[in-house]
Amino acid sequence: METLQIIGSFVLAIVPLILVHELGHFLAARLTGTRADIFSIGMGPRLFGWNRRDGFVWGPLPPDWRADGVTDYRVSLFPIGGYVKIAGMIDESFDIAAHASPPQPWEFRAKKTWQKVLMVLGGVIMNIVLAYVLLVGIALAVGKTELATRTIAYITRNAPAEQLGFMSGDELVRIGNTEVHSVAEFLQKLAQASYRGDVQITLRRSGRDTTIALSAAQLRHILPQRPDLGIVPDGMRPLILGVETLRPAGKAGLTAGDTILSLDGIPVASVEQLIELLGERKQKPTTLVYKRSDGIHRTTVVPDENGKIGVQVSNVITGSIVRTRYSFLEAAELGAAQLWSYTTLMVRSIGLLVTGEQSLKQSAGGPIMIARMANQTADAGTAAFLSFVAMLSLTLAVMNILPIPALDGGHLVLVLIEGALRRELSTKVKLAYQQIGVVLILALMVIVFYNDLTR
């Protein structure tokens, strides 16, 4: 069931991005009077599709099928990408049949340089627009809601925060000379600061200020793997969503809606902490204090041999929160600022990869990681999921603009070279260029799949 949920979240996140990206190429082709032979969601064999000449057709089209001015809108087998086959353009399909004859007015190669640039960048532009619209929409609909605390309630065992010297009860005061007002703001500013250089953090511990010095390389190694560093802010508690009646929790009288406060006198601040504490108390009577609508209650529960009590739980905010509402202009400004911030972070990260300061293993993730993150953000709510989709859309735009053959940026390089030379490059050169790109992309896919499986 969980696997199906993860797959569903992945499809829900990735398919709209593919659709929007390819729609950008398609609309640009239409705008410039260029034929688009195929509009595909997914890669690989055709599953089904429609075109105005043949109607709806299951499976592949005949091998001798020719577009001749119609577009086949199709869904293909693998939902990991998509493509628009533009007439007269050598792409990753390696189709060079049209190049045996002079350029036709409706073909890509017959168009002006600015028209080619528009068609090549159409997908990137649409992904940036989608990311911006989502960020503005989230700011307008939800605003900003965060815990009004900068105090650490708990640090997950063996998490980066513990290794870096943070402790439960620490109050996060400053990053460098910039004061922070919440744990969420601290984590966001820490990620941004890590790309500018080494970081000095000021904490308030037992009423006295103390500092922790962290190197930029150290943070860039840790943050991609655990963005929250394992820090749980004050004002969170595990909420019981469901109880198995015949398991220890059900026998102890716990019900859905109960909020767990403590175990054996230890305050419980998160689901992770609850799991850790129960794992230490296998088959041992444990005093559990919980809150119900009619007050505070105490019961004894005995975790089974696996440290389980038969509950479904999720973190819930119990502390004070700060809500910020935005006008349309404020949301538009915030969306632009977030778009710029995320873009510069990605560009800097790519720069660190190029210089070798950050490894590909630390940074690159593939479909498996995307699926897991999509599922986690979907569990956190609509706003969190849409924020993830916005960042994924922006990532898709930035990655596609890289000057790598077979990507949009690679096509752009060829277009600009041909524009500067005022002539078309030979079919042999363009075909070899695309073949190199496909090999590079396949190699990258192998690496990211390996990273996903070994994480």
Which residue, 30, 278, 24, is CA-closest to 131?
24
Q: CATH 2.30.42.10 residue ranges in the chain?
A: 146-234, 236-321
Query: What per-residue confidence (pLDDT) applies to 193?
Result: 82
Rounded CA gap, 30 and 12, in Å? 27
| Tokens standing for residue 399 | 């990655």
**H/E stretch holding 289:** strand 286-292
Token output for 163 = 């290794």
Q: How far, in Å, CA of 124 to CA of 242, rounded?
A: 44
| CA–CA gap between residue 353 and residue 95 (Å, rounded) | 33
Mean pLDDT to the nearest integer, 283-304: 94
What are the distances in angstroms from CA 291 to CA 54, 105, 177, 263, 271? 64, 73, 40, 13, 16
Q: For 21-37, what is each residue's pLDDT tens digit?
A: 999 999 999 999 999 99
Q: Of the segments 10-14, 153-157, 280-284, which one has the largest average pLDDT value?
A: 280-284
State the pairing for strand pair 231-233/152-155: antiparallel
Find the mean pLDDT for residues 314-341: 87
Q: What is the mean pLDDT of residues 251-263?
A: 93
Amino acid at 394: L
Tally the C-alpha atoms within 13 A of residue 307's C-alpha that lie toward its C-beta: 10
Task: Calculate Rg over the CA atoms of the chain.
Answer: 27
* CA dist., res. 152 & res. 231, Å (int): 7
| Nearest Cα to Cα of residue 75 among 49, 102, 101 | 49
CATH of domain 146-234: 2.30.42.10
In the chain, % of residues over pLDDT 70: 90
Q: What are the pLDDT digits (tens) for 361-417?
A: 655 666 666 767 666 666 667 887 888 899 899 999 998 998 888 889 999 999 999
Selection from 77-81, 330-334, 405-409 with the highest mean pLDDT: 330-334
Residue 235 Rama label (left phi>0; alpha psi -120 to 50; beta): left
Percentage of the residues of the chain whose pLDDT score is greater than 90: 42
Residue 243 has pLDDT above 60, yes or no: yes
At residue 97 the predicted structure's pLDDT band, cuts being 50, 70 and 90, is low
What local confidence, expressed as pLDDT, does residue 236 receive?
A: 87
Of residues 48 and 442, the one with the higher pLDDT is 48
Higher pLDDT among residues 170 and 1, named by residue? 170
pLDDT of amino acid 94? 63
What is the CB neighbour count within 10 angstroms for residue 265? 7
The overall average pLDDT reported for the chain is 86
301 neighbors 182 (Cβ within 8 angstroms): no
Q: Architecture of 236-321 per CATH?
A: Roll (2.30)
Query: Is residue 269 over pLDDT 70?
Result: yes
Residue 162 and residue 182 in contact, taking contact as beta carbons nearer than 8 Å: no
Model-level pTM?
0.71
Residues 122-141: pLDDT tens digits? 999 999 999 999 999 999 98
Residue type for 216, please? A
User: Are 125 and 378 in contact, with CB atoms under 8 Å apart?
Assistant: no
pLDDT tens-digit series, residues 167-211: 999 999 999 888 998 888 888 888 888 777 888 999 999 989 999
Across residues 141-154, what is the average pLDDT?
Answer: 85
